[in-house]
Amino acid sequence: MNLKKNYSELYQHWLAEFDQIELTPLFQEDFNLYKKYVNKIKATDLQDDDALKKELLESYKAHFEFLLEDLLKIRKIKIMNAAFSLQEINLEYILEPEKLLYQNLIRSIKGYEKLKKFSVIEDYQSDEMVIEFLPSVSDKEKSKIESETTVQVIDEVENTNLEEPTKFVEPEVESVVENVANAKINYIIIRFVKDTPPLVGIDLKNYGPFNANDIASIPYKNAIILLNEKFAEKVDLA
């Protein structure tokens, strides 16, 4: 193990990531190599009693760990900023977990924007209907309407049989939703190998539609069906 050379490789990548606004390419084989460097030096133990050498080794260990952890943190911030601004990034230059983070954020933000736009339109239409269909009522007419309404309410109350309490039947849908919410559901990360229509998971959440190479975390029971039907393949994050 060439300690100085390995440290220099990791440091140069960290420095480039720190200096640039854009994401630097980080392929899985490069990440595995950096991780191997860190694990090797962490497992290294000097048999020599020289205090200076031991101190130098501990310093190298701390610096190796810092560079790798900080490299991933910087990349995470860049990916989140890109997603929040709906900026496209090259998915071939990032790790699988980073790709999953970016795609999930993009879907969530786009879904929120659509929901917000739809809600604004609904509120606007609702206000228009109130303005359009609400008739103008004079003070005399208001008094007459209030009087008639009061008499009608009193008659309904007097005719109500208070001896028979109203029975409330809990809808079955609420029971089903409650059972699903309380159930423990396992999730699995998969990659879609072809375009797949939307589906409803066993957790009653909507998923999809998906394009080829999309990555998603969905309930295990739903994933098994997609894997068996060759719509997707399992993603190994180890």
Summarize pLDDT for 22-72 with one digit per residue, the tens. Answer: 899 999 999 999 999 889 888 887 776 777 877 888 888 888 899 999 999
Which residue's entry shows tokens 């228009």? 128
Among 78, 100, 122, residue at a domain's last position: 100
E strands, 77-183, are: none
Q: What is the CATH number of the domain that holds 14?
A: 1.20.58.2050
Report the distance separating Cα 112 and Cα 124, nearest Å: 18
| 7: in domain | yes
| 160: in domain | no
Whether a cis peptide bond, with omega within 30° of 0, leads into 209 is yes
Q: Which pLDDT score is estimated for 129?
A: 44
Residues 96 and 7 in one domain: yes
What rounded mean pLDDT belongs to the chain?
76
Tell me how far CA of residue 17 lies from CA of 74, 84, 99, 100, 179, in angstroms.
Answer: 7, 20, 17, 20, 47
**160 falls in which pLDDT band (50, 70, 90)?**
very low
Q: Which pLDDT score is estimated for 70?
A: 93
Among 72, 100, 128, residue at a domain's last position: 100
Residue 166 above 70 pLDDT? no
| 122: in domain | no
DSSP state of 94: S
Among 40, 72, 100, residue at a domain's last position: 100
Residue 5 above 60 pLDDT? yes
Which range of residues forms the domain containing residue 42?
Answer: 3-100
Q: Could you give the percent of the chain with pLDDT greater than 90?
A: 26
Whole-model pTM: value is 0.49
| 79: in domain | yes
| 148: in domain | no
Q: What is the CATH number of the domain that holds 222?
A: 3.40.5.50
Q: How many domains does the chain have?
A: 2
